[in-house]
Amino acid sequence: MLTKEGNELLTRIGPGTIMGNLFRQYWLPALMSTELSERDGPPRRLRLLGEDLIAFRDTSGRVGMLANNCAHRGASLFFGRNEQDGLRCVYHGWKYDVEGRCVDMPNEPPETNFADRIRQKGYPVREVNGAIWVYMGPRATPPAFPRYEWTEVPEGHYAMSKSLRECNWAQALEGDMDDAHVPALHSFLKFEYEQDSANRYYGKPLYLEVVETPWGLLSGTRRDAEEGLYNWRITPIVMPSSSMFTVGTVREKGVLWMRMWIPIDDENVYQWRARWKPNEPLEGPDEPESGPGGYLPEGTQWYEHWRTSGNKTNDYFIDRETQRKESFTGIPGFPLQDKMATESQGLIWDRSKEHLGSTDKVIAAARRRLIEAAKALHEEGVPPPGVDQPEAFAVRSAIVNLPKDQDWVEASREMVAARRGTAAVNRV
């Protein structure tokens, strides 16, 4: 467990916080391109790392991400006019380009040159494979863009979905790292895994191992397989808040997954899920992370995007009769089951109250890695893992059976390395 002080350090990500400063060192996904599909279209509210931002796509197709309040007298730029390569505040007409430069100030005489001295706070953005990324850190020149495999595959090879999770980012990420919950939370009472399925070992005891890597951690979940073999589920835990977990039935189709947990503020987080096939196009439509019932109608306020119909107000559609006779939880679909588990911990779970077991080894290691990296940045200015090694993020998960005497880290090194155009490894 963590002390109360350690829990505060881990979970708080607002401006000036130690963990918030660590997050700001990385490029973070902020919006899907489809959320700003129209040039000169309506601006969009976006809260990220506790900061209120306004995003817009200008006449030339460039994306700006500026502070919510106008640099003049604080009116919200959400109500601004998006026109002629800039966003104009409707209070006094000050206009800003995507980089925050004030390019027009109609209420000031031109000879004052006052506009030249005004800069609206904003952040560098980059649009890659259908996602708009932002760098919110202190560097004048942002670090190189991380080489996540799904950001480099061709059109048609990847798909994305999002959903709002009403809890702290850390407990959502910990749910992804927790392979031990799957045989319980996601189980059916009368279900048996097919003998040729990659999931057929789920009923057996599991043992976890974890090692540090340049990008974060590598988690290995071991179960007994056929004689002389272990089944390994190998999962990269990628700084600052992503997991490339394995889904056996999906991996049998050669599909890779990544979930990124991007904090809105201390008590809300967006789940980003990327699915991709390195060697060929994905088949069929993407399955969104909304769960049964889809999404609620979208609004314009800070928390009115990507809300799932199943949520805490309706107990995630739990059906007690189904729980008695069919599924372990009675909650339909894996996404809502996960959402229930992490949101029911409360907005920010007090980790000083918990009792960790041997199957929580990866979670404990991830907390240490994050806290140590955040403190090293704060106290010594040490860049966090991977920030200056964009190639380090070119990794993927693997499912493989290995001889019991074989070192799983060395044996999986080539499998975990993302190689352009090569199929995902699934050897069971």
Render pLDDT for 142-159 as a digit per residue (tens, 0 to 9).
999 999 999 999 999 999
Higher-confidence residue: 247 or 100? 100
Residue 381 contacts residue 211 (beta carbons within 8 Å): no
Q: Average of pLDDT values for 234-257? A: 84
pLDDT of residue 198: 61
Percent of the chain with pLDDT over 90: 83
Please give the Cα distance from 44 to 216 (Å, whole number): 33
pLDDT of residue 420: 83
pLDDT at 326 over 80: yes
119's tokens? 């800069």
pLDDT of residue 257: 92
- pLDDT tens digit string along 22-71? 999 999 999 999 999 999 999 999 999 999 999 999 999 999 999 999 99
DSSP type of residue 331: -
Number of H helices and E strands in the chain, helices first, is 10, 19
Residue 120 falls in which region: left (phi positive, over 0), alpha (psi -120 to 50) or beta: beta
Residue 427 contacts residue 403 (beta carbons within 8 Å): no
Percent of the chain with pLDDT over 70: 96
pLDDT of residue 181: 87
pLDDT category of residue 191 using cuts at 50, 70 and 90: low
Q: Average of pLDDT values for 129-145? A: 97
Q: Average of pLDDT values for 212-217? A: 96
- pLDDT tens digit string along 294-318? 999 999 999 999 999 999 999 999 9
Q: Average of pLDDT values for 199-224? A: 90
**How is the beta sheet containing 81-82 ordered, strand by strand?**
81-82, 87-88, 95-96, 102-104
The pTM assigned to this predicted structure is 0.94
Report the relative pairing of strands 207-212 and 398-403 from DSSP bridges. Answer: unpaired
Q: Average the pLDDT over each of 82-91, 248-257, 275-284, 298-307 and give the range with the smallest value.
A: 248-257
- pLDDT tens digit string along 390-399? 999 999 999 9
Q: How far is CA 75 from CA 63, 90, 132, 265, in A?
A: 21, 8, 25, 22
Please give the Cα distance from 401 to 403 (Å, whole number): 7
pLDDT at 407 over 60: yes
pLDDT at 203 over 90: no
pLDDT of residue 86: 98
pLDDT at 259 over 70: yes
pLDDT at 426 over 60: yes
184's tokens? 């319980």
Using a CB cutoff of 8 Å and minimum separation of 24, what contacts does 322-325 make?
A: 325/189
pLDDT of residue 192: 62
pLDDT of residue 348: 98
- Which residues belong to CATH 2.102.10.10 in the chain? 27-135
Please give the Cα distance from 375 to 22 (Å, whole number): 9
Indicate the fold that domain 27-135 takes in CATH.
Answer: Rieske Iron-sulfur Protein (2.102.10)
| Dihedral angle computed from the Cα positions of residues 329, 331, 337 and 339, in that order, rounded to the nearest 10 degrees | -130
